[in-house]
Chains A and B, each alone.
Chain A
Amino acid sequence: MQIIFFILAGVALVTGGLVVFQRHPLRSALWLIVNFFAVAGIYLLAHAEFIAAIQVIVYAGAIMVLFLFVIMLLNLREPEAEAKFMHLGQKVGGIILAVFTVLLLIYGVMQVVLPPGKAAPPGLGNTESIARLLFTDYLLPFEVTSVLLLVAIVGAVVLAKSKLK
């Protein structure tokens, strides 16, 4: 089990890096899909079959198809030319922000207290238990999220239709 985890984690890290370092937007998108699959595999190892399936359906199956769709429609075939001139302030600011983000992440990870014991018990990530939690303990955040998504949909429709008439 542990070997599989490290393989999947390695794949996730390497492909995550490849997403950032590709010159071509479509290649980046494709590596991101591989990354999603590796993460879904890790969910499976943690007995969270439902989350794994949803990860593939929503992220790899829907969101990335939309990304690809946009890349294909804009036909971004040639990688963008590298900027010839870069402001010194941009470089310094970028480095400072990056270091700050890494420190923040390290601080955040250190705060997490891992519960004792090994993997989650089987059945924890199952559909029934997730549904029970969503509709009892986390009902309010769940409903607020759905309203948030509705607002986004309405906003998208308004933006798209504002040019008509």
Chain B
Amino acid sequence: MTAWITGCLILLLKLGIVLVGLLLLAAYLVLAERKLLARLQIRLGPNRAGPLGLMQPLADAVKLLTKEDLAPAKADRLIFLLAPAVVAATALLIFAVVPFGQDWVIGGRRIPLVVADLNVGLLYALALSSIGVYGVALGGWSSNSKYALLGGIRGAAQMISYELSLGLALVPVVMLAGSFSLVEIVAAQSRYPFLLVQPLSFLIFFVSAVAETKRIPFDLPEAENELVAGYHTEYSGMRFGLFFLGEYVTMVVMGSLVAVFFLGGWRGPWLPPLVWFFLKVLGVVFFMIWMRGTLPRLRYDQLMHLGWKLLVPLALLNIVVTGAVLLLLRA
């Protein structure tokens, strides 16, 4: 009985730490992005709230929470109120299968540094990322505004297109690791990270991941100079904040998925595993911010062209080649 209770306590503690850590990381990522973008554009960025502007996320949170929660008069109220939660919740839930460190042994008890090691972990992550589309599409539709509707439709079309290459890019990884479990995939990279043998997969996955987070150059669903703010035009206060939070949590989650699938997860020499994991995630996220500071937005037809005519066929070809090479090597 006591073993069961301590197990429960450890799980709850782990959940709490992961949740708070993820939210804090997302909040400070907003600040980091604003600072970095400012430097890329030869500005200073936020520097008024606290030393170096470090209190900015706190100030933003207070502002968002105390703002009035508005819903347009002709909106589909229930769906309008629920949509932001879908985006934020699905993004947070994906992290449950991400292993972020080596197992700890405390007092003879083994504590794996992953919330849940599912044997279909990879499929779970893909499933949740495909559910996240609903938040965008329904938020846009229910606002009863033409800009929001256009943003929602664009979001749905874009995310459903890039999900395909996102999933297909992972097939070679599964073939190499022989498992859908993220813990097993990290374990399979004990000798070398999959980036070295699957550079094409890595590229396809990374581009699709950026498209899934709806960031520049793939930010057509919000395209502020065409659609005001796209699917979240009509949102205010913390509901807008949830969309925003969802986007940054998705960034962290996609960064950690890239780290787990291609960069060897928490593995690395000299430094402790947890530090390696953070470094890799932050590296990927930094690259995403850098892209935002560098690239222009794609046109809609270019977006669809890239997804369907380039990434998907390349990913399929990569699967065939990987399969053939594996067959040759093992024969």
Residues of A within 8 A of B (CB): 26, 30, 33, 49-50, 52-54, 56-57, 60-62, 65-66, 68-69, 72-73, 75, 77, 126-127
Residue among B127, B138, B167, B180 making CB contact with A68, cutoff 8 Å? B138
Residues 110-136 of B contacting A (Cβ, < 8 Å): 118-120, 123-124, 126-127, 130-131, 133-134
Contact A65 B156 (CB under 8 A): yes
Residue among B76, B79, B131, B159 making CB contact with A60, cutoff 8 Å? B131
Central interface residue in B126, B134, B167, by most chain A CB within 10 Å: B134
Residue among B131, B138, B152 making CB contact with A56, cutoff 8 Å? B131
B300 → chain A, closest Cβ, in Å?
Answer: 14
Q: Which residues of A contact B130 (CB under 8 A)?
A: 56-57, 60-62, 65
Contact A127 B79 (CB under 8 A): no
Contact B120 A68 (CB under 8 A): no
Residues of B within 8 A of A (CB): 76, 79, 118-120, 123-124, 126-127, 130-131, 133-134, 137-138, 140-141, 144, 149, 152-153, 156-157, 159-160, 163, 167, 180
Contact B133 A65 (CB under 8 A): yes
A52 to B157, CA, bound (A): 24
Q: Which residues of A contact B123 (CB under 8 A)?
A: 50, 53-54, 57
Known A-B contacts: A26-B141, A62-B130. Give 6 more (CB < 8 A).
Answer: A60-B127, A65-B156, A69-B156, A72-B140, A72-B141, A127-B120
Contact B149 A49 (CB under 8 A): no
A57 → chain B, closest Cβ, in Å?
Answer: 5
B148 → chain A, closest Cβ, in Å?
Answer: 11
A126 to B156, CA, bound (A): 31
Q: Which residues of B contact A62 (CB under 8 A)?
A: 130, 160, 163
